Amino acid sequence: MKTIDELLAEGVSGKRVFVRADLNVPLSGDVITDDGRIRAVQPTIARLAEAGARVVVASHLGRPKGAPDPAFSLAPAAKRLGELLGTEVAFAADTVGASAQETVAKLSDGQVAVLENLRFNPGETAKDDAERGAFADQLAELADVYVGDGFGAVHRKHASVYDLPARLPHAAGSLIAAEVGVLKKLTADVKRPYVVVLGGAKVSDKLAVIDELLGKADRLLIGGGMAYTFLHAKGYEVGISLLQKDQVETVKEYMARAEANGVELVLPVDVLASTEFPDLKGKAPAEYTTVDADKIPADKEGLDIGPKTRELYASKIADAETVFWNGPVGVFEHPDYAGGTRAIAQALVDSSAFTVVGGGDSAAAVRTLGFDENAFGHISTGGGASLEYLEGKTLPGLAALEV
């Protein structure tokens, strides 16, 4: 795919450059609680502006239902982008309407504007090719060149990700180029031992990537809510822990395949268990007990990996040459259940391996827990996109940039 370096060499001064970014940041009211995705795309936007482009930034945020919803406005993200760039960023109150057209028309060379949430228009996510294409046509009228740099959205066949690049000269931004380069290190010529740490709530969200990794990874360390389906599959009592009974037989098959393939599949040996889920808003102290993973009381749920498991997992990471981590291993949002996720992050920091934190909640956890992002090999901005790449799927947004 064409790079932004090639695009800049051709010259972009005076051109309207549409940057499909991923500004899908977590909000508490109108306050951004983690600006990592904005900071990740800022270098691409800055380079284009410095080269004299009239930069039109677009993104989605959350899951509005194809209509304007103030709770999902990109206004806070536009404000934060301006702070990071050190310049005023114009904000259009719609996607392709009068405000967008006027805002873009007023841009001078080197200036930046952000359009309102693309998902406020039903054409962005439409399943119908014609409806999606019609919205892409409207977006194309706002630009001369397209730069794809929203890695967190490249696994979506959406108008601004898939259809718009076909309508304009296009290139990949710095972030997408970096993300793809990292993922290639996890799929081709991988340095071993290759350790994968998978967490998160549901095992069903990770089945496809587990299926693929059973033929590629040397060790799989399982944590988070998904671990209890594995523990149940081993015949253990998991109490009221998260459990997907419909996935138990699949998990049993995966455990058998792991053994047959010589892949070490490591499960928690102890957990922090409680009779109730913690208060994540007030963060009142939680009451819990530490129990062996095969002795979870029937009236309790596991909410974090225990101290023995933290030591075990750290030891399994210590000699790795490559580590990929996707998904927290406990309810890290509460301080009493953040210890497991902190231990995984610290093990990656202490490791000499090439370490990749796979986006989403894992990236947020790293920042929330106070780790230096530079201590990791790479922190991805796209959890779902990263997983689908590792599954071997064709990602629509990348395919569109390669044409």
User: What is the rounded distance in angstroms from the CA atom of residue 246 to the CA atom of residue 264?
Assistant: 24
What local confidence, expressed as pLDDT, does residue 349 receive? 97
Residue 184 catalytic? no
Strand 322-326: give its sheet, edge to edge. Answer: 264-266, 219-222, 194-198, 322-326, 354-357, 378-379
The verdict on pTM exceeding 0.85 is yes
| 57 beta partners | 19, 114
- Tell me if 119 is assigned to a ligand binding site: yes
Place of tokens 């994540």: 280
What local confidence, expressed as pLDDT, does residue 260 receive? 96
User: What is the rounded distance in angstroms from the CA atom of residue 116 to the CA atom of residue 136?
Assistant: 15
- Tell me if 191 is assigned to a ligand binding site: no
Residue 152 catalytic? no
- Tell me if 232 is assigned to a ligand binding site: no
Q: Among residues 148, 358, 384, 397, which one is catalytic? A: 384
Place of tokens 């790479």: 378
Q: Among residues 37, 219, 300, 316, which one is catalytic? A: 37
Strands 270-274 and 289-292: antiparallel
- Tell me if 63 is assigned to a ligand binding site: yes
Residue 360 catalytic? yes
What local confidence, expressed as pLDDT, does residue 361 receive? 83
Residue 330 catalytic? no
Q: Among residues 39, 202, 216, 257, which one is catalytic? A: 202
- What is the three-class DSSP state of 66? coil
Q: Among residues 148, 340, 358, 360, which one is catalytic? A: 360
Point out the residues of the chain with pLDDT beneath 50: none
What local confidence, expressed as pLDDT, does residue 193 receive? 97
What local confidence, expressed as pLDDT, does residue 202 receive? 87
User: What is the rounded distance in angstroms from the CA atom of residue 202 to the CA atom of residue 29?
Assistant: 27
- Tell me if 22 is assigned to a ligand binding site: yes
Contact 283, 334 (CB under 8 A): yes
